[in-house]
Amino acid sequence: MDPDRATSGRPKREQNLASDLMVLDGLLYTLTGVLDMREVFDRVSQLVQPVLPHDMLGVLEVCENRDMLRIYVNAGDKDAAQNYEALNPFPELMTWDYLILNDIPTNPAISKSPATGIGMVSVLTLPVRFGGQLQAAVNFFSRKEGWFNEEDVPLARKIANHLALALSHFRLA
């Protein structure tokens, strides 16, 4: 295997803690400037692109009845659905730490999702919980198969935690 390639098939990114922290500081600064993160979500997607490359970033929220998910916000693809609601295809996310699917068009649970319809092939999903209850899921999508791997999880989790804080503030308001 080529040492300059990450296990996900994309070019290996040099780990630079100072640079990553600057991106996360920029993310926090962007999110604290608004009450509703949907107002700045395109900027959020652009900010985190250098530390976690993706074709689309989205947040799904858990509906009141707990068995449905709906799109809260998407960024990165102008053709992405903004209004969509469906049964939660992965009820096990209530307890999972993260989920990586690297060939979503063949996954029967989500093969007919709007993301698949616009060419997304891989997804890294992190659950957002408040009070131990699943409230949302942060999704990083790619059009390339095998794009995400476990090495992406720590940074994705930090990004998801920032988004969770913004989401909780919005809900409190």
Query: For 88-97, what is each residue's pLDDT tens digit?
Result: 777 666 678 8
pLDDT of the residue at 131? 82
3-state secondary structure 87-141: ECCCHHHHCCCCEEECCHHHCCCCCCCHHHHCCCCEEEEEEEEECCEEEEEEEEE
pLDDT of the residue at 5? 38
In this model, does residue 13 exceed pLDDT 80? Answer: no
Tell me which residue of 150, 149, 144, 139 sits closest to 48, measured CA to CA.
139
Who has greater pLDDT, 169 or 128? 128
Q: Scanning the structure block, which residue is given the tokens 């068009």?
A: 105
In this model, does residue 22 exceed pLDDT 90? Answer: no
The mean predicted confidence, pLDDT, of the chain is 82
pLDDT interval class at 12 (50, 70, 90): low
pLDDT of the residue at 164? 87
Q: Which of 19-28, 56-65, 141-150 has the highest mean pLDDT?
A: 141-150
d(C-alpha 73, C-alpha 35), whole Å: 14
- Superfamily covering domain 17-172: GAF domain (3.30.450.40)
Which pTM was predicted? 0.82
In this model, does residue 86 exceed pLDDT 60? Answer: yes
User: Over the stretch 107-125, which tens digit does the pLDDT of each residue have?
Assistant: 888 888 889 999 999 999 9
d(C-alpha 45, C-alpha 57), whole Å: 6
Who has greater pLDDT, 64 or 9? 64
pLDDT interval class at 14 (50, 70, 90): low
pLDDT interval class at 157 (50, 70, 90): very high
